[in-house]
Amino acid sequence: MSSLLSRYRLLLRDELPVILRPLTPDDRERITDAFRRLSPESMYFRFWTRVQGANPKFIERLCADDDGQHRTWVIVIENNDEIPGVGGGSYWRSDGSEDSAEVSFTVADEFQGQGVGTILLAVLWVEALESGIRQFVAYVLDENHVMLTWWASLGAAHERQPHGGWELTLRLDESLLPDTSAAGSLRRTMAGLRAASKAA
């Protein structure tokens, strides 16, 4: 059983109060709307395709209960129906591996640069460790310089992919995190989540 709470009240870098919670099947419409609102560039960086909006089958898979093979957390603004979501992050257990999972993030354009990715990585890291996962793998396009820089600042190993883009591998071991601003923010966020869980 996870030590994490069902929701956390947090602040983004600009002091906006938000709710961090697991995705539920009731979020289908919210998630569909959130993907529809993404800019073409954000959609391309997330799905490596120029089509607008997420495939309905992907939405169903995202919201499905599959016995712990994947987990998704979302950040939303409480009591605000105008903005469907601030961001979301998922991990999916890799085929044939019990201790590795592919991780991905989506952040609404207007909230990029506010620490959303750090919050999502922190909660996924904590939950994944409790599930026996020891490393995250992410796939990033060459053009996505912001994400490539972020992963590098967390100490992720990188490998060029023959079909284009990069495979980034991050060991879920805090002692391996480098002395960088991004890694420090991640450590503090994980510590905050754990402290809130213990205090509840």
What is the Cα gyration radius of the chain?
A: 16
Domain-by-domain residue ranges, the chain? 8-199
Q: In what order do the strands lie in the sheet with 166-171?
A: 8-11, 17-22, 70-76, 87-93, 100-107, 135-140, 166-171, 157-160
State residue 79's pLDDT score: 82
Q: What is the pLDDT of residues 120-168, one digit of tens each?
A: 999 999 999 999 999 999 999 999 999 999 999 999 999 999 988 999 9
Note the pTM of the prediction, 2 decimals: 0.94
Which stretches of the chain are DSSP H helices? 28-37, 40-47, 56-63, 116-130, 145-153, 181-199
Distance CA 167, CA 179 (A): 22
Q: Quote the mean pLDDT of the chain.
A: 92
Q: Report, as ranges of residue numbers, the positions in the chain whose pLDDT lies below 70.
A: 1
Residue whose C-alpha is closest to residue 94's, from 130, 57, 128: 128
Q: Which two tokens stand for residue 94?
A: 């890799």
- Contact yes or no for 54/47 (Cβ under 8 A): yes
The burial of 167, by beta-carbon neighbours within 10 Å (0-12 exposed, 13-18 middle, 19 or more buried), is given as middle
Q: Specify the fold of 8-199.
A: Aminopeptidase (3.40.630)
State residue 97's pLDDT score: 82
Helix and strand tally (H, E) in the chain? Answer: 6, 8
State residue 1's pLDDT score: 58
State residue 63's pLDDT score: 86
